[in-house]
């Protein structure tokens, strides 16, 4: 299929709230991305990871040479089981191989190419165009999901992505924010703050590019109430979807030194499940949840000791929500409603009869 030709299924440009409302009516406790995508596309959509050889400005020296404190050596990121055999292939070869592999496993009918390793918008725009064009050539590909940092999306890159949207492709940006709290982005050496995320989401909305933020729970010195506030902040920022993870301690990271010296204590499974339940309650009901835990790329994990697979964590979170009788968005509230503006006590400063 040539680029620009309309794809065989409708592409998603905006999150359809009526579909999510229907899911809650059917008993969903949170807005699961996979179920939502099946309903809106009319078939199962799967994501195929692709490595286009990107590096990261927080690693190659442009911002820093150290990386974030939890970032493992780059080689360790190429550890997805299904991915080992395609590392040496070019982009087209990877996409063909991956789609074949996932289709044989019954993953679905149409694919989003997940440009997954490193910061996948950190290259000159014309190079990005060549890479994305090659990834989109396969007839089963309906779009791209591009992993990147919020500070690597200048206008020129967003405009390039908007061209693909106009051509009928579904374009997601998977933005590694991890936390909106300044003390956390500082202490984990992210090399950016939260303002970049706000800007990117606003600019993506103008261009019909969908946004998904990565967030980590259990970051050093971050309290449970700050994690709840994170849910409220990303809701109001307008992100379309989230991937939630517990903080993992990996080999050869600065975090692993803190862990070994006792300066960092990993979150337990019950703490994580309980925080995720709290988080979901305070999140907008219309933010899709793409991941609720981490279950791939785990080679080199030192801690936490518990199995972080989503098939274990997801049911635990749902059990907590069921026991509480709550669901996503039930505590999502921004200040007082109009009905609550009547003071409970008569204000003494307002004179009688005014
Ligand atoms: S932004 Fe991502 S790839 Fe870059 S150093 Fe941090 S964790 Fe590693």
The domain tally of the chain equals 1
At residue 22, the pLDDT reads 98
351 inside domain: no
232 inside domain: yes
Separation in Å, CA 94 to CA 39, 83, 136, 271: 28, 9, 12, 38
At residue 76, the pLDDT reads 44
Q: In testing the pocket of ligand 1, which one of 63, 176, 185 has its CB within 8 Å of the most ligand atoms?
A: 176
Does the Cβ of 59 fall within 6 Å of ligand 1? yes
State the pTM of this model: 0.92
Task: At 40, list the tokens.
Answer: 């809106």
Separation in Å, CA 278 to CA 183, 266, 291, 292: 22, 18, 16, 13
Question: Tens digits of per-residue pLDDT, 151-196?
Answer: 999 999 999 999 999 999 999 999 999 999 999 999 999 999 999 9
170 inside domain: yes
What is the domain-level CATH number for residue 113?
A: 3.80.30.30
d(CA 30, CA 318): 9
Closest CA to 300 of 75, 54, 84, 85: 75
4 inside domain: no
Distance in Å, CA 71 to ligand 1 centroid: 6
At residue 300, the pLDDT reads 83
d(CA 69, CA 264): 12
The residue range of the domain holding 202 is 17-341
Distance in Å, CA 282 to ligand 1 centroid: 28
Rounded to 10°, the helix 195-207/155-166 angle is 30
**Segments of the chain with pLDDT less than 70:** 1-13, 73-87, 347-354
């Amino acid at each position: 299929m040539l680029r620009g030709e309309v794809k065989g299924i409708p592409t998603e440009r905006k999150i359809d709230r009526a579909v999510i409302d229907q899911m809650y009516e059917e008993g969903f406790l949170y807005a699961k991305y996979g179920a939502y995508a099946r309903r809106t596309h009319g078939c199962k959509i799967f994501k195929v990871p692709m490595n286009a050889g990107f590096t990261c400005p927080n690693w190659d020296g442009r911002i820093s040479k150290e990386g974030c404190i939890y970032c493992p050596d780059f080689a360790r990121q190429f550890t997805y089981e299904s991915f080992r055999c395609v590392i040496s292939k070019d982009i087209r070869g990877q996409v063909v191989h991956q789609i074949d592999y996932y289709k044989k496993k019954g993953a679905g009918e149409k694919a989003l190419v997940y440009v997954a390793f490193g910061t996948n918008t950190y290259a000159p725009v014309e190079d990005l165009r060549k890479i994305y064009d090659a990834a989109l050539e396969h007839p089963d590909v309906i779009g791209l999901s591009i992993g990147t940092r919020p500070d690597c999306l200048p206008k020129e890159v967003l405009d390039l992505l908007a061209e693909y949207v106009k051509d009928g492709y579904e374009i997601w940006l998977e933005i590694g924010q991890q936390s909106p709290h300044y003390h956390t982005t500082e202490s984990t050496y992210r090399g950016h703050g939260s303002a970049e995320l706000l800007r990117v989401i606003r600019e993506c909305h103008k261009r019909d590019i969908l946004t998904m933020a990565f967030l980590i729970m259990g970051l050093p010195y971050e309290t449970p109430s700050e994690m709840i506030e994170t849910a409220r902040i990303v809701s109001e920022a307008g992100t379309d979807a989230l991937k939630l993870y517990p903080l993992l301690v990996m080999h050869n990271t600065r975090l692993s030194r803190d862990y070994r010296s006792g300066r960092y204590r990993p979150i337990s499974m019950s703490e994580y499940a309980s925080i995720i339940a709290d988080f979901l309650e305070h999140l907008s009901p219309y933010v899709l949840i793409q991941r609720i835990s981490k279950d791939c790329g785990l080679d080199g994990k030192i801690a936490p000791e518990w199995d972080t697979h989503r098939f274990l964590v997801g049911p635990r979170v749902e059990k907590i929500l069921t026991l509480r009788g709550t669901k996503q968005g039930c505590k999502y509230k921004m200040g007082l409603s109009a009905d609550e503006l009547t003071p409970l006590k008569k204000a003494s400063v307002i004179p009688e009869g005014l």
